[in-house]
């Protein structure tokens, strides 16, 4: 596993999508003072070795809980972007005793809601498998161009270093298939506080996707694009701290 764990306070676990990795949180994590911040590369992605088993949001949520067990974290707040959002929702629905709150950003929550043309094409399994396996550089460049106006060179190099590996892209193909087959069953009613922090100009998943979580608190960041944590890290971190500070206080009050 490749992971970063730093700081002290109530834990926040940060989940990435693709073609990115834990570095998607590199500008947000340092701003979350007062919290313990944990970011990791999903098993099978980034610099983490693959684990046995499937690749649906439920499987990914189970891996998240296994990591909380390993790190001896009883309860944590979870923030997920892109394909990290669905496992956060599933984990909150299935393990409310382990998840204090979730925040989701730029994620395909509502399976039949509008998306970009890129996403519509990549949701077709045969097309997805073909382009990911044979044209990774095209997919990578297109993902960056449609997600953010400017990307730090070091972050871009780290993303590409791992995404270019065939075994990583093979896992992503499996994950995309697993998500597509189960998205209509994604939970809606949660027993923990949920927050949607969305970019106003997210080209892949417009803000209409927040409707999937009817009880969620919604924050739309003006001018925000798909990779909000890298584009507007200060605004994103501020929203996370507001969201998760309230859930941390509730946890503390419940233990008195």
Q: What is the pLDDT of residues 45-99, one digit of tens each?
A: 999 999 999 999 999 999 999 999 999 999 999 999 999 999 999 999 999 999 9
Q: How far apart are CA 214 and CA 235, in angstroms?
A: 23
pLDDT for the residue numbered 256: 37
Domains of the chain: total: 1
Report how far residue 217's alpha carbon sits from residue 208's, in angstroms, rounded to the nearest whole number.
Answer: 14
Selected residue with higher pLDDT from 250 and 197? 197
- Residue 32 structural domain: 3-254
Task: Say what percent of the chain tops pLDDT 70.
Answer: 96
- 164-186: pLDDT as tens digits: 999 999 999 999 999 999 999 99
| Secondary structure (3-state) at 237 | helix
* pLDDT of res. 251: 60
Q: Residue 248 burial (CB < 10 Å; 0-12/13-18/19+)?
A: buried
Query: Across residues 120-138, what is the average pLDDT?
Result: 96
Listed residue (150, 95, 127, 119) closest to 18, CA to CA: 119
Give the separation between CA 211 and CA 214, rounded to whole angstroms: 5
Residue 205: give its domain's CATH number.
Answer: 3.40.50.1820
Question: What pLDDT sits at residue 214?
Answer: 92
The pLDDT of residue 246 is 73
pLDDT at 254: 40
Residue-averaged pLDDT of the chain: 95
pTM: 0.95
With contact defined as beta carbons under 8 Å apart, do 36 and 71 qualify?
no
């Amino acid at each position: 596993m490749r992971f970063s764990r730093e700081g002290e306070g109530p834990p926040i676990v940060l989940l990435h999508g693709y073609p990115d990795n834990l570095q998607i949180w590199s500008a947000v994590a340092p701003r979350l003072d007062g919290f313990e911040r944990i970011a990791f590369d999903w098993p099978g992605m980034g610099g983490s070795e693959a684990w046995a088993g499937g690749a649906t949001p439920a499987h990914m949520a189970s891996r998240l809980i296994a990591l909380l067990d390993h790190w001896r974290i009883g309860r944590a707040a979870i923030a997920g972007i892109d394909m990290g959002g669905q496992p956060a929702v599933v984990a909150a629905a299935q393990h409310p005793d382990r998840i204090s709150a979730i925040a989701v950003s730029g994620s395909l929550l509502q399976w039949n809601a509008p998306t970009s043309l890129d996403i519509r094409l990549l949701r077709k399994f045969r097309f997805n498998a073909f382009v990911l396996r044979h044209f990774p550089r095209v997919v990578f460049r297109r993902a960056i161009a449609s997600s953010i106006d400017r990307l730090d060179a070091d972050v871009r190099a780290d993303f590409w270093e791992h995404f270019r590996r065939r075994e990583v892209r093979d896992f992503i193909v499996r994950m995309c298939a697993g998500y597509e087959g189960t998205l209509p069953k994604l939970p809606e009613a949660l027993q923990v506080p949920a927050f949607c922090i969305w970019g106003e100009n997210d080209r892949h998943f417009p803000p209409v996707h927040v409707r999937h979580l009817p009880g969620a608190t919604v924050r739309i960041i003006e001018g925000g694009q798909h990779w909000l944590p890298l584009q507007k890290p200060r605004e994103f971190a501020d929203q996370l701290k507001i969201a998760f500070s309230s859930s941390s206080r509730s946890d503390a009050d419940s233990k008195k």
